[in-house]
Amino acid sequence: MMKRNNRLWGALYLRRRWLTVGIGVKRWLLLLATGAAVTSMGWVYLLLSTNRAGWLPGRLYDGLTLQFLPLGWRIALPLIVGGLIMLLAVVKLGKNLVEPLREGPGAVVDSLVDYRLRDRGPHIVAIGGGTGMPGLLRGLSPYTSNLTAIVTVADDGGSSGRLRRELGLLPPGDFRNNLAALARDEALLTQVLQYRFGAMPSVATPGVATPGIVPPDGNGGAADEPAAPGLTGHAFGNLLLAALTGITGSFDEALLAAQRVLALRGQVLPSTLENVTLVAEVALPQGESVEVSGESAIPQAGGRIERVRLEPSHARAYPPALRAIFGADLIILGPGSLYTSILPNLLVADLAEALRHTRARVVYVCNLATQPGETDGYSVADHVAAITAHAPGAILDSVIANDNLSIPPETGGGRTQFVQPDAPAGVDFIRRDLVDEARPWRHDSAKLARAVLDLLA
């Protein structure tokens, strides 16, 4: 009896879900009912005309027109029965049409409701790179499909650097991470796209190199390995983008193709299509200042970064990225490496100018921990000062920073140095608990998503 009741309540719940506001079902049911009512007028006139002409037996006419029932029932019964028949037909037809396209387990109506609610979600643009931004996108994707990731193209290390040097390809690594975060079947596709070819001795044939998985780096993402021959060290997602670039003829078309293949809940765009190099002025401990060229070499310089710039300095922004900025409801900078992931985007002059003139609120999400070689000893105010120095003008409206510093630094096997939440001047400063308690150098995706969505409330 209990199981029967559960099934009954489950069926009633599913039927109620079809009436959810905003999924685009009730309006078409109403239109269908209107069409049926208009059509039924023709049948009524046909029936009356046939009866007047004497072509119908009296008993048949009385039966078809329900003359044996009171007038109220003659009106209500056809409306109720006809409405139920139309509703059943629509539900069954819709189920049969969309069942093969359903994105996951559960009822078709659940997939439809989730899709419609995400489709009507806010337009949010995230700007940055590295391993921080995918966590933000992962947290936001259940609430909206209108997500745009604008990614730096200054990376020159590991697998991305090798493909950039050997094939003239824009560095695909950061794009791969964000594509995986926005994919519908993220759990499986993350493993596939992040799979990294490595040399491991085979059990069956000792000494023979076979593909394997390179362990992740300390930040929880797949680390870029030093240059190696063949496929060793390459991530499968990087090779996929390289192959799609060869097929489509350009990197931006390759991204569009990848988005279709992976059925993304959003889009991933480059900040520029030009082959740029990041150059930093670094003050060494000995007191001298040197120039370091290359994104991967800057954190290894062993000094304090004073300024960064792009070469060439007049790289033009990717037009779809500018359109996304002007159409956004909210724009998020970060989280990510300050000098090598976030600022390279702001050094694209057109993109920085768009941020100054967009109607959307521009929010900087400060990192949880300082980054060795880049932001040693930095507070939140120091991060904001660096952004303001490189992109002068009123770009930032708000700053979100973590205020939960209670997690032991050695948690998760690391030595986390938390960024102190000192209030920066001239912007709205928001303190929230954003830390992933298992990996305190990382943001908790769900906490960060709630903090971001609260800004739109």
- Residue 66 has a pLDDT of 82
Question: Is the link from the previous residue into 312 a cis peptide, with omega within 30 of 0?
Answer: yes
The token pair at 408 is: 């032991």
- Tens of pLDDT, residue by residue over 190-200, are 788 888 887 44
- The residues near 64 (Cβ < 8 Å, ≥ 6 apart) are 47, 56
Specify the pTM. 0.74
How does the average pLDDT of the chain come out, rounded?
A: 83
- Which pLDDT band holds residue 297 (cuts at 50, 70, 90)? very high
DSSP code per residue over 119-144: HTS--EEEEE-TTHHHHHHHHHTTT-
14-34 residue pLDDT tens: 555 556 665 566 677 778 778
Residue 209 has pLDDT above 50, yes or no: no
Q: How many CB atoms lie within 10 A of CB 287?
A: 7
Q: For residue 201, is pLDDT > 70?
A: no
pLDDT at 221: 40
CA distance 266 to 147: 4
Task: Tell me, rounded to whole angstroms, the distance of Cα 40 from its chain centroid.
Answer: 48
More confident position, 134 or 15: 134
Domains and CATH numbers, the chain: 14-98 (no CATH), 121-153+271-456 (3.40.50.10680)
Name, in order, each residue with C-beta under 8 angstroms of 323's C-beta and a sequence gap of 6 or more.
none
Average pLDDT on 64-91 reads 83
- Integer angstrom CA distances of residue 428 from 35, 306, 389, 399, 424: 54, 25, 18, 6, 8
What gap in Å lies between CA 176 and CA 237, rounded to an integer? 6
For residues 424 and 395, the answer to whether their CB atoms sit within 8 Å is no
User: Measured in Å, how far apart are the chain's first and last C-alpha atoms?
Assistant: 45
- CA-based nearest residue to 170, from 249, 273, 59: 273
Q: Which of 103-117, 189-203, 423-437 has the lowest mean pLDDT?
A: 103-117
Mean pLDDT for 38-44 is 82
DSSP strands (E only) in 275-416:
277-283, 289-293, 304-311, 330-333, 361-365, 398-402
